[in-house]
Every structure is written in structure tokens, then in C-alpha cells.
Structure 1
Amino acid sequence: MVTKIISVCLFGFMFFNIVHVSEMLLLGTSRKSGFYKAAVFEHAVIFPEKRASSYDEAVSQMFPNLDEYKRQADIAGTLGADIIVFPEDGIYGYLFATPSDIENYLEYIPDPAQVDWTPCTEHLRYERTKIQTFLSCLAKNNSIYLVANYGDKQPCQKTDPSCPKNGHFQYNTNIVFDRNGKLIARYHKQNLYFETQFNTPTTPEFIYFDTEFGRFGTFTCFDILFHDPAIPLIEKYNVTDIVFPTAWMDALPFFSAIGYHSSFALAYNVNFLSANLHYPEERFQGSGIYTPEGALAFYYNRSSPNGRLLVKEVPILNHNGNRYRTNMISFAETGIFKNYDFQGKVFWDTYNFVSLKSEKDNLIVCQGDLCCSLRMKRD
């Protein structure tokens, strides 16, 4: 298997307790031809005060978060948004250590490739579907595509040697509802990040859904660092847009949410809708709406306890067979180099650095023939 690697260095987002909200809301609900309207919500999750001892108790603990989802979805619907994305772990938080800790919070989520189901109008079809029904009705009532992250509880046969002792698998799951509230996509997160409450799927899933304004792929948080499922979605399944629920903890200098996610959009020529948790005490922040041309809107706030809704018109992409950008600058070919100021170890590797000495500057730093550029201005 050959993996294409495109080196794009856009990690020049060095935030020092900065608040930056870029064009959060568009006034009115009009839409330009060739665009769709996207919404992402960075959510300040409300954690359960104690572990629920039953499904009904768990539902009551999740509803404060769902009530906030409703407020934001209603606003997005009023503004004419076509799609809204909510973050990973936004319904119940991430403070679960074992499968039994989170089991009561989960529901069975059927495979929409096998089942035609609209929970909002068929809520009695399966047991334990209050959360899916609520989300389905949010999508239906606002005539909006809705992407949320929730936990799936899939039964398995005890004769299966990989089947857990409790008789079911538990997956970190993205679910998508269309404008009528129909469940149209279900993705199980492949690359877990110390998520001992969940199981890893046996094989990666490549999940996408088609809309009137593009083909959307979905994956979750840590998945973005791996070949599967992200790269096949782009190269094989020809998605034009990514919806990305995440619980992303910034780890500078490379894993700044805004820098990393906007770079993915640029490198792979896709629109990228990223919804993060807002929990700055633990470095969870940074959501945005990104295109191959840059960030249309983003929110990064380390000092406020509040999340934020971003709504923006996004260009509808048509690649016409041209997947990757062809206008990237090759610094090696142009002969543009600057000496580094010093070297340092980052994650056990040696890197070249330049100092940020000015209030405003355009900088380039190279190692061999790989160069990164930064256009910066201090707030």
C-alpha cells in the first residue's frame, strides 16, 4: 500500500490565553449559489456528578447537555444552516475508566446501511432509544443534517472469542441524521486514545454520506493521525467534506487543534468541520470551519468557561479529478531559506526553531529541503 504524504506546515498558531472568534454568525438565512451553510458547536460539557446505576438515571444526567444541543441546533436552524456538528463525548463527557462505568449511558445503534429508521417517528421500534430519538427530532424539526458523537452498544455472540464477558461491544460512535431525522450514517471510532471504556472495531470503517451539497466523510479525533480511515475516505471514496467530532487536547507545538485541522483541509483539498469540547482547564478547546483556502471561522478561548456556535457559508467543492492542490510553494526550488536560531527536542526529535521577536512578521524555518512558513501577528 502506498500512502501519499503532503507536507504542509501551518502550525503557527501560538495562543497565549487569546480569545479569537472569527465571524461567528451570519445575519439572515439567505444562501449564495455554490455554497452551503455549516455550523459547528464547541460545547462546555456538563459531566455526570456520579455514575448512573440505570439507563433512566443516565438519561437524566445527559439531558442538560442535550438541552444545550437543542438551543444551538435551534439557533443554527433559524440561521438557515444546512448541517451542524457536535463534539466527541459532548453528551456525557469522557470521565469513564471501564466499560461498566459507561454501559448505562449507551444505546443500541442500528446500522443504517441495513435498516431504514427515523427515531423521531419510530421511537418504539427499538428499546432504549431516548437519546437517538431526541437527536433525530432536533434534525427533523430544524430541517438540518445533524452529526453527533454517542456510544453504541452492539450485542455479540458468546461463542465469538472476541465477545466481551458482558455480551456486547461498546463503541465510540459518530451518528448522522438527515433533514427528516432519518439515521443515515454510523461510524465506530477506530483509533482510540486511552479510551478503556470502549472497544476497538476489528476492521476500520469507511463511512460517508451524500447530501445535495457534497459527499461527507466522518471520523473522530485521534483518527486523524492515522491512514485509516481518513486517507481512503479521500482517495478512494472521493469525499469533499469531513465532519469531525473531537475531544482534542492541545499539545503544542504540533497538536494545536486549529493549526492541525486547518492544515488537513488545505493538504487534502477538503472542507473540514471540526467541533471540539470546551474544557480549557484541561486544554480542550479549538473548533472551526476550514476550507482548502483557509479558516472561515474558528473559536479558541482559554479564559472563558463558555462554548460557542460558529455558522458560516462554505463553498461547495467539485474536484473534477483534481484531488490535491497544485499551487503549493516549494521553498527548496525557489531557494528561499533562513537559518534557524536554535535547536530543541520535541517528542524526542530534534527540530530547528526561529524566535518570534517582532509584533508582526513573515518567517520561514527549514530543515534540509523541508520548510515551514508562518505569517504571524501578536494580539
Structure 2
Amino acid sequence: DREFVTDDYTNITPKILSYLNRDLHLKKDNPISIVRQRIVNYFYSSFTHGGNPIFSVYDNLSPVVTTKQNFDDLLIPEDHPSRTKSDCYYVNRKTLLRAHMTAHQSELLRSGLDNFLMIGDVYRRDEIDSTHFPVFHQVDAVRSQRKEQLFQDHPGLELFEPTFDPKNPLIFENSINDPNKQSCHSLEATKLMETQLKNHLIGLVHALFGDNVKHRWVDAYFPFTHPSWELEIFYDNNWLEVLGCGIVRNEILANAGPNNSIAYAFGLGLERIAMALYKIPDIRLMWSEDSGFVSQFQNKKLNEKITYKAVSSYPQCINDISFWLPSDVTIDTFTNNDFYDLVRDVGGDIIEQVKLKDKFVHPKTKKHSLCYSIIYRHLERTLTQAEVNEVHKEIEKAIVKSFNVVVR
């Protein structure tokens, strides 16, 4: 247990703190853990050297990281929207709950590793609905290769362009203007890594969803890879994005130590895969201790086809909440994620969804008003309207106190 000083950046709520150390990705029979094990097994069996797996797995890394780990080490610009308080859970100005598992990439490279999986819980402030939750779980991976590994059959080929000096990698200004490659890398090295990356990830998707699943690659942008792609599969009559990937920016490798290798990286969300594979309709169910949910995943073979059957569909209760904003706040400057966090903090897991219903500016007084619909539903029993009204009143009191609004 570490202690941290709070400051003007601190925005972690007690509700979010309650999710720390739950480790659903390591909890036997949880769907997230089942998918994690299937992915690990794929990498263990597909990549071996002398009969031993070459990928090492890190699934117990502390979720409290520095802004350097989460952003700077990954070349995420100072003004990037992902750094804002409305997107992340900050412990203080220099420390936060990791927003992605890639936050550990540089420290593991620095320690001399070249093939590894990073698995754990990540935290992002987001909207509230059946597919979004402020805590979710990711698998991120890096595979790096030196020249003699990548070009073992073509020893005359090079990883880098002649203008790049691997002994002084940081003095080279690496450009990403060419959509096909980074300016430091040779085209042959980039294309061979791209082919390996895509083949390995198509193999993973086949291992999870079956050999006949259709897929497509979509060009993407991430600050820490170039070129970059997203992989989508056609599943249940929809195109589903399953992961993002790319060739690791050479500056990241050079800053972390390796200056004579090229690497690929990818990241995927375990909840998204588990919800698709097992037809789980609501992300909150992953956290359920209800035996009706848990028993459906117990004592099953790892690759068994499981289709979640709803135990019961309890009715929703919908209450609206409208309020006038204080004079120094407008409908455009009010931070929705602050409101969502407060609602979740007061209402807990009976909050199914929060939707912005209406924005209004009074024509005469010019006062600004917002109206939200809050959808309440318990996963394990029927809520009474009286119970909901009580929680709703507590939310009204809390927003008056926190945001200085006037409830309409």
C-alpha cells in the first residue's frame, strides 16, 4: 500500500478505488480470465524456442503509473486529448491509474525483454451504457527482432536506412510522413514485420473465433506506432473492431535501450472479445458474483462454446434530472464525464445508462440548462420505484453540492 499526495488533478472517486485489486483477468471462471488464458495459450504454443515459450507474461503490474509511463514514454503529445482530466483518473498531477497496458512497455523493454504480453485492468472516464465501464481489461504485446532474427534467410538486408546510425539513434529525426514506414526503417524490414504481425494476429482471431471468420484491416493512427492498423472481424452480422496494432516507433525503442531492433505491438480489450464470444449483453455482468451468471462459466473446457443465457431480465426504471448551470458554466463547457462519475459514485452498479436528453438556453435570462435520463436496473433483482426515487434524490443533492447547480 503506497500513499500519494493529492492536488488539483486528483479526480479518483471512492467507487473507482473499490475496483482496484479485483483482478477479474486472474479470477478463475470469469469470462475475462477465460479469454486471457486462451490468448496466452496461443502465444505460448505459437512462439517457442528449444521447446520453451519465448513470450513472457506480466499480469500483476501495479495499475498506478506516472504520466511519463502513460504518456511521455509513448510519444503522446502534451496537448493530446487523452491526457485531460475528463479522460483519465488522476491520483495527482504526476500519477494516474493507467489508461492502457502499453504504459508498461518502456520499463519492460528497458529491463531487456523483447517478447512479452502485458495484461491487466485499465481505467478511463467514459459514458455509461451496456458496453462501457470505467474499468476494463487489456492485453498488450510487443515482439522485437534484431537483424539476424528478422533476416535469417536474407543476411544482406538491413533493418535501417543508410542515413540512420544505430549507435546514435537519438540524433536521427525519425519522420512518419511516409504512410508505408518510419524514415529510419528500411522498407524490407517494415514490410516483413507487417506481414508477421498480421499473420500472427489473424492466427489469434482464428484461435478465438474460428477459422472461417472474415476479417479486414483498416489503416489507423496511434502516437506510438507507425504504420498502424485496426483489425476488424465480421461476427454476428456486424464488423467488430477487435484490436489495434502497428510497428513500434523507433524513438520508443531507442529511449528504452534497444537500438538495433525493430518491433511490432498490439493491444486488445478482453471485455469486447468476451462479450462477443459468449453473447454477454451488459459489461456490468463481468463484475457480478451472482451464481446465475458465474455458474455458466464454471468447470468448462477452455475452448468450449459457451452462450450466456439471461438469468432474468429485470425491468428498467427511468428518471430524468434537469438543472440550471451556474452563471460561469455553459452547456458546452460542462464536463459530462464529471456528471457520469458522480452518478455512478452515488448510484453504484444499479446505474445501467446515463443519456444527455436535452440542452436548453433560456431566451430571456440566457441561463443554461441540461437534462439527463438516468436508467436504473439491478442485475439480480427488481428495483422498486421507491428505491430508485431515493437514490435519485441523493444524486440531486450531490450535484447541487458538487456543481453548484439548481435542480429544476
Q: Using structure 1 for the length normalisation, give the TM-score.
A: 0.30
Query: Whose relative contact order is higher, 1 or 2, with alpha carbons under 8 Å and at least 6 apart?
Result: 1
Q: Using structure 2 for the length normalisation, give the TM-score.
A: 0.29
- Give 1 or 2: higher helix fraction: 2
